A and B are shown apart, each in its own frame.
Chain A
Amino acid sequence: MTGGGPMIRVVLPAHLRTLARVDGEVELRVDGEVTQRAVLDTLEARYPVLRGTIRGHDGGPRRAFVRFFACEQDLSHESPDAPLPAAVATGAEPYLIVGAMAGG
Chain B
Amino acid sequence: MSRVRVLVGTRKGAFVLQADGKRDRWDVTGPFFPGWEIYHVAGSAAEPDRLFASQSSGWFGQVVQRSDDGGATWEAVGNEFKYEGATGTHQWYDGTPHPWEFARVWHLEPAPDDPDTVYAGVEDAGLFKSTDGGQHWAELPGLRTHRSGPSWQPGAGGMCLHTIILDPAHPGRMFAAISAAGAFRSDDAGQTWQPVNRGLRSEGIPDEDAEVGHCVHRLAMHPSRPEVLYMQKHWDVMRTDDAGGSWHEISGNLPTDFGFPIGVHSHEPDTVYVVPITSDSHHFPPEGKLRVYRSRTGGDDWEALTRGLPQEHCYVNVLRDAMAVDSLEDCGIYFGTTGGQVYASADAGDSWAPIVRDLPAVLSVEVQTLS
A interface residues (Cβ-Cβ under 8 A, vs B): 13, 15-16, 19, 49, 51-54, 57, 63, 65-66, 99-100, 102
Q: Which residues of A contact B82 (CB under 8 A)?
A: 57
A65 CA to B62 CA, complexed, in Å: 14
A25 CA to B80 CA, complexed, in Å: 26
The reply to whether B79 and A15 form a contact with Cβ atoms under 8 Å apart is no
B interface residues (Cβ-Cβ under 8 A, vs A): 35-36, 57-63, 76, 79-80, 82
Q: Which residues of B contact A19 (CB under 8 A)?
A: 60, 63, 76
A27 CA to B117 CA, complexed, in Å: 37
The reply to whether A100 and B59 form a contact with Cβ atoms under 8 Å apart is yes
The reply to whether B80 and A15 form a contact with Cβ atoms under 8 Å apart is no
- Report the minimal beta-carbon distance from A42 to chain B, rounded to whole angstroms: 19
Question: Would A63 and B80 be within 8 Å (CB), given that A15-B35, A15-B36 are in contact?
Answer: no
- Report the minimal beta-carbon distance from B38 to chain A, rounded to whole angstroms: 13
A32 CA to B26 CA, complexed, in Å: 56
The reply to whether A57 and B80 form a contact with Cβ atoms under 8 Å apart is yes
**B interface secondary structure, majority:** loop
Q: In chain A, what residue has the closest Cβ to B36?
A: A15
The reply to whether A52 and B61 form a contact with Cβ atoms under 8 Å apart is yes
Question: Would A66 and B59 be within 8 Å (CB), given that A15-B35, A15-B36 are in contact?
Answer: yes
- Report the minimal beta-carbon distance from B160 to chain A, rounded to whole angstroms: 19
A66 CA to B80 CA, complexed, in Å: 18
A4 CA to B135 CA, complexed, in Å: 33
Q: In chain A, what residue has the closest Cβ to B75?
A: A49
The reply to whether B79 and A52 form a contact with Cβ atoms under 8 Å apart is yes
A-B CB contact pairs (8 Å), 28 listed = A13-B59, A13-B60, A15-B35, A15-B36, A15-B57, A15-B59, A16-B60, A19-B60, A19-B63, A19-B76, A49-B63, A49-B76, A51-B79, A52-B61, A52-B80, A53-B60, A53-B63, A53-B79, A54-B60, A57-B80, A63-B59, A63-B61, A65-B59, A66-B60, A99-B59, A99-B60, A100-B59, A102-B58
- Report the minimal beta-carbon distance from B117 to chain A, rounded to whole angstroms: 22
18 other A-B residue contacts (CB within 8 Å) besides A51-B79, A66-B59: A13-B59, A13-B60, A15-B57, A15-B60, A19-B60, A19-B63, A19-B76, A49-B76, A52-B61, A52-B62, A52-B80, A53-B61, A57-B82, A63-B59, A63-B61, A65-B59, A99-B59, A99-B60
